[in-house]
Structure 1
Amino acid sequence: MSGKLPFAQVIGDPIKQSKSPVIHGFWLEKLGLAAEYGKAHVQTQDLADYLTTSRTAQNWRGCNVTMPHKQAILPHLDSLDLLAERIGAVNTVVKQDDGSLRGFNTDVAGFLEPLSEVLAEKHLFRMARVLGTGGAARAIVAGLSDHGMVLVLAGRNPDKARSLINELAKQGDHHVATLDHFAEPTDFEFDDREGCFDIVVNASPLGMRGQPPLAFDFSHAPPGSIVYDIVMDPLETDFLRNAKDAGFRTIDGYSMLIGQAATAFELFFGQAPPREHDDELRERLTA
């Protein structure tokens, strides 16, 4: 970053793989904004020093926060948005006019964005099967619960899943399960799903390049379910491919990535990104 133009960054450890500079750079280019967006490799022990230095940089607008800093950054901030405080994780830091640092969580908005039309409809019943209990699952559980979803949260450790549900989900008849529960076929006969909304979400790293595959048998997915995978590498995971083969509508990881970036972009640069170019942006991300 030159330091002469308004700029923001994404920080993490590692950071080489981050696609945030491509996304924000694309939008800055399309809008013709004189601003910059880059990335900084920041290790945990250097997090406090990075923020101390950055808050005094005249043109630094803030940063996106990726692993492993989403929770570690909390004590170093001056204030938190209510949603970030509730979730207990920050993925966007914005320098305020008075120089203070405020933390936001845009993962919820990013995850929900491709579901906005269906969530605006009225349903007799809404159920989400969420696979994974890590940091991403915290945002997803909170967001789906706020939209009246009954949750089935599956993880390797059911106790961790129950604790997460109790902490973040609104009152309801929520359930927990082991990941293994969904790996084997079921002969369960789903009732009439007319007027119902069902979603199955992989909120875990399973299926990511270098990770074990996600074992999920689609006999566990009610007819008409939407299948959503937040994994971005590969973009079409085996989980999504199998869902398509079984006739389900699918949503890939770029949907959440672009959605959460859009909210952050407006916080940094005071202008909504040009979303009419999303198809072109996706092409650039996959180039």
Structure 2
Amino acid sequence: MSDMTPQALLPRQIITGKARLAGVLGWPVSHSRSPLLHNYWLARYGIDGAYVPLPVAPAQFAEAVHGLQAAGFRGANVTIPHKEAAYALATELDHTAQRAGAVNTLIFEANGAIRGLSTDGDGFVASMESAGHKPQGKALLLGAGGAARSVAAALQDRGLHVAVTNRTDARAHALAEALPGLDVVPWAMWEQQLGAYSLLVNTTSLGMEGGPDPMFRPSLHHAAPHLVVADIVYVPRITPLLAEAEQKGLKTVEGLGMLLHQARLGFREWFGQDPEVDAGLEAYVRASL
């Protein structure tokens, strides 16, 4: 199977009236490559199922989730801006979700329960390690939303000293209250303080194609030479932030790896198969960016 191309695999996907169903909820959701990677896995493992994009406005989020559950879906991924709303809606939470205060994966149980998982943080760390960078030292996170909560918790759990900065200062302080030991850096000052950190992570949608500021390219003038710059945005593949880092000779980690690694647990729960993140999957999804 390893010598087969993704294009050869996808037409073999099986969908019948007994298909297992899942999807991704977001607003917007057109940028998401989750349908691409999950349907690749479904085809690769010959699973009767489908995974679909689900554009849902914030005001309709709870109604949409309950509708999917009533329609027989096995669950869904949750992306911007719904991760904290998913946390509030879940009736059961895993330890990581409780700690992060955010959910990116929903599992619909047969008894009607909605189980919420947070796989972003572990997916981010797995992506870093896959790229050859073990997170260590001091990390600065841009953003204080659902992804930031999960990534911050995962980094703290691995012994890193973590700070967060956010355009809305109150949200940064709320995250610091939720995760004791987290520092807050004012948004207007983080560029000047960058030299104190070994890892910079953009957990916002800044720099994302179609996002609030697709040209987001802050100054990295004060960065230490050993700084690793990571971006969870993966459309475009090289964000303006990563381009700036590369121009300064800094090591970078693209957002695609986090997407691939965080997806494994949800796929296993919905479709009953532990999928492999390999070169074939990465090449297939990367070709769409």
Q: TM class by shorter-chain length?
A: 0.7 to 0.9
TM-score normalised per structure 1:
0.82
For 1:160 and 1:14, how far apart are their aligned partners in 2?
22
For 1:229 and 1:248, how far apart are their aligned partners in 2?
13
| Cα deviation code 1:149-178 (max 9, x no counterpart) | 112322234454233123124x3xx53222
Letter in 2 for 1:88: G
The 8 Å contact of residues 141 and 203 in structure 2, kept in 1 or not, is answered as yes
Of the candidates 216, 238, 241, which is equivalent to residue 239 of structure 1?
241
The 8 Å contact of residues 8 and 62 in structure 1, kept in 2 or not, is answered as yes
Structure 1: tracts of 5 or more residues without a match: 191-196
| 1:186-201 correspondence to structure 2 within 5 Å | 198-201=198-201
Q: Secondary structure at the match of 1:285?
A: coil
| Cα deviation code 1:124-163 (max 9, x no counterpart) | xx11121222232111211111111112322234454233
Residue 121 (structure 2) aligns with: 108
- Structure 1 residues 162 and 68: alpha-carbon distance in aligned structure 2, compared to 1, 3 A threshold: closer
* Cα shift at 1:270: 2.0
- Structure 1 residues 247 and 75: alpha-carbon distance in aligned structure 2, compared to 1, 3 A threshold: closer
- Structure 1 residues 57 and 3: alpha-carbon distance in aligned structure 2, compared to 1, 3 A threshold: farther
The 8 Å contact of residues 200 and 221 in structure 1, kept in 2 or not, is answered as no
For 1:145 and 1:259, how far apart are their aligned partners in 2?
19
| Cα deviation code 1:24-70 (max 9, x no counterpart) | 01111112222211122333444344333433444x21111223322
The 8 Å contact of residues 119 and 147 in structure 1, kept in 2 or not, is answered as no
The 8 Å contact of residues 124 and 257 in structure 2, kept in 1 or not, is answered as yes
For 1:76 and 1:216, how far apart are their aligned partners in 2?
35
Match status 1:202 vs 2:202: yes
- Structure 1 residues 52 and 229: alpha-carbon distance in aligned structure 2, compared to 1, 3 A threshold: closer
Match status 1:179 vs 2:194: no
* Cα shift at 1:222: 2.3
Letter in 2 for 1:285: S
* Cα shift at 1:215: 4.6
* Cα shift at 1:185: 9.2
| 1:243-282 correspondence to structure 2 within 5 Å | 243-276=245-278, 277-282=280-285
The 8 Å contact of residues 87 and 97 in structure 2, kept in 1 or not, is answered as no
| 1:144-159 correspondence to structure 2 within 5 Å | 144-159=155-170
The 8 Å contact of residues 94 and 267 in structure 1, kept in 2 or not, is answered as yes
Q: Secondary structure at the match of 2:189?
A: helix
* Cα shift at 1:86: 2.3
- Structure 1 residues 61 and 281: alpha-carbon distance in aligned structure 2, compared to 1, 3 A threshold: same
For 2:55 and 2:151, how far apart are their aligned partners in 1?
26
The 8 Å contact of residues 183 and 215 in structure 1, kept in 2 or not, is answered as no
Match status 1:283 vs 2:283: no
Structure 2: tracts of 5 or more residues without a match: 1-14
* Cα shift at 1:100: 2.1
The 8 Å contact of residues 185 and 217 in structure 1, kept in 2 or not, is answered as no
For 1:24 and 1:50, how far apart are their aligned partners in 2?
21
- Structure 1 residues 33 and 138: alpha-carbon distance in aligned structure 2, compared to 1, 3 A threshold: same
What RMSD over aligned residues (CA atoms) do the two structures have, in Å? Answer: 2.8
The total of aligned residue pairs comes to 271
Residue 9 (structure 2) aligns with: none
The 8 Å contact of residues 133 and 160 in structure 1, kept in 2 or not, is answered as yes
Larger radius of gyration: 1
- Structure 1 residues 240 and 89: alpha-carbon distance in aligned structure 2, compared to 1, 3 A threshold: same
Q: Secondary structure at the match of 1:222?
A: coil
For 2:264 and 2:162, how far apart are their aligned partners in 1?
27
| Cα deviation code 1:251-270 (max 9, x no counterpart) | 11111111211222122112
